[in-house]
Amino acid sequence: MRYKIFIYTLALQLISFFAQSQSFSLSPYSKFGIGDLSYTTYQPSLGMGYSSIAQRSNRYINDANPASASEIDTMTFLSEISLMGRNHQIKNSTTSKATTNTDISYFAMAFPIMKKWGVNLGLSPISNVGYNISENKNIDTLTLTNVYKGDGGINEVFLNNGVQILTLLKNNKINDNLQKTFIHHLSIGIRASYVFGSLDRYSTATFKNESNVFDLYKTERLLISDFTYKTGLQYQYTIQEG
C-alpha cells in the first residue's frame, strides 16, 4: 500500500512540475507554430511504429490503443517514467552553438478497476518552445538590435479505459490425445485527455544610444485549454493445444 501512495504522490508532483516548469526546448525552430513537437513512445513500442496498436499485455502499458487496458489483471499495478536527453548543434557559415538538455518524456501508471476492465493514466508533453535570438542591423547611422525570445509548452493529461466485452471459446478435437481450443477476445476502449499549457513570445527592437527614436517592445501569450478523446477496438485470437 505504501508504494501506491508514493506513486500517487509522485504523479501529483510531476503534474505540478509540468504545469509550472519552463520549456526544455533550446531550438530556434521552436519559434514557429506550437514549437518543437514531442513524440512520446512507450518503451515496449520503440522502433515499432503504429504496430503497437495491436499489442496487449499485463506486463507493460500500451498507450497506442485504449482498448489494450482491458488486459490488466486484478493483481497488477504498473507505473512508468521516462527521461529523454537531447544534444543540439546549430551552425551556419560563421558561427555554431551546441546545447544539451534533459526532460521528462512521459509518466504513466495502469491498474485494474475489476476483472476485464483496466485503466491507465499519465502525463506527457506535446510540444516545447524555447529560443533566444538576437541580430543587429545598420540603418543609415543607426544600429538596430532585434531580440526574439520564447518559452512555454503544451502538455496532456490522459485517462484510458479498456473493457473486454466478448470472450468466445471453441474446442476442436483433433484426435483422442490432442484438442485445440480457439479463444476469441474483443475489447473496446476510450481515451479522454485534457490539453493545457501556455506559449510566451517576446520581441524587442531597440536603437542603442538613441534618445530621439522610439523602441518597440512586444509580448504575446497564447493559452491552451481543451479536451480531446479517441476510441479504440482490439481483437485477439489465440490457439491452445492440449
Kindly indicate the confidence band of residue 10, based on its pLDDT and cuts at 50, 70 and 90: low
**Total structural domains within the chain:** 1
Domain that holds residue 106: 2-241
Over the stretch 106-150, which tens digit does the pLDDT of each residue have? 888 899 999 999 999 888 888 889 888 888 888 888 889 999 999
In Å, what is the CA distance from 183 to each residue of 56, 143, 172, 242? 15, 76, 11, 13
Residue 2: count of CB within 10 angstroms of its CB = 6
pTM: predicted TM-score of the whole model, two decimal places: 0.77
Task: Work out the average pLDDT over 42-62.
Answer: 72
User: Higher model confidence: residue 51 or residue 37?
Assistant: 37
Give the pLDDT confidence score for residue 89 in this predicted structure: 80
Per cent of the chain over pLDDT 90 is: 29
Give the pLDDT confidence score for residue 55 in this predicted structure: 78
Residue 22 pLDDT > 50: no
Residue 206: count of CB within 10 angstroms of its CB = 15
d(CA 102, CA 180): 51
Give the pLDDT confidence score for residue 233 in this predicted structure: 93
Task: Work out the average pLDDT over 18-42.
Answer: 72
Per cent of the chain over pLDDT 70 is: 83
Contact call for residues 230 and 52 (beta carbons, < 8 A): no
For the ranges 14-18, 52-56, 188-192, 201-205, the lowest mean pLDDT is seen at 14-18
Q: What's the distance, Cα to Cα, between the start and end of the chain in Å?
A: 39
Give the pLDDT confidence score for residue 23 in this predicted structure: 54
d(CA 23, CA 136): 26
Over the stretch 152-209, which tens digit does the pLDDT of each residue have? 999 999 999 999 998 888 777 766 677 778 888 899 999 999 999 999 999 999 988 7
Give the pLDDT confidence score for residue 197 in this predicted structure: 92
Give the pLDDT confidence score for residue 49 in this predicted structure: 60
d(CA 162, CA 234): 10
